[in-house]
Amino acid sequence: MEKFNLNREDSVLFVIDIQEKLVPAMKGKEKVIDNNRILLEGAKEMNIPIIATEQYPKGLGSTVDEIKEFLNEEDIFSKNSFTAYIDDVKEKLEELNKKKIIITGMETHVCVYQTTRDLIEAGYDVHVVNDGVASRTKENYINALEQMKEMGAVINNTETIVFDLLKIAGTPEFKKMSKLIK
């Protein structure tokens, strides 16, 4: 059951390729952006490290402003490969020394899928946020989630992740996060 248990001391939020020229083509993009904002605000509130990537930013643009406002420039990594588990990210994860990776981003069946596969192979527990990832088609989205589950990823959602990380009600963090989720 350990892989299903999230705790802030051992977790990283990993935001993959939510970029200017990708977002307009995604199904459910508004909900995905909103859920990513909740997760990002929660990560900031709970001192959970955040890593983000941009796929070929010269062609696809940079991370959208709604997401970028939560990121530090040094935590955004540019890539050309579809997997976001690139050398710079590997080094950052080794430096952070945390084994639970919460993944959001685009596209579910390409970059999110390949990154999840590579992280699981490297020994990480991966939680894919089903309402924080998107693809251009529903079929590709569903297929990718099914495959990642078969690989051993935990398919999760924004609310479950936030409340699992919070653990208890009544704290100032709980009150702040509850307002965001309503």
Give the residue numbers annotated as catalytic, written as ranges. 17, 79, 111
Rounded distance between C-alpha atoms, residue 125 and residue 154, angstroms: 8
Contact between 164 and 5 (Cβ < 8 Å): yes
Instruction: Provide DSSP, 69-127.
Output: TT--GGGEEEESSS-S--HHHHHHHHHHT--EEEEEEE-IIIIIHHHHHHHHHTT-EEE
135-164 core/surface letters (b: 16 or more CB in 10 A; e: else): bbeeebbeebbeebeeeebbebebebbbbb
Query: Quick one: which of 94, 88, 52 has its CA closest to 70?
Result: 52
Distances in Å between the Cα of 97 and the Cα atoms of 21, 61, 69 are 33, 30, 25
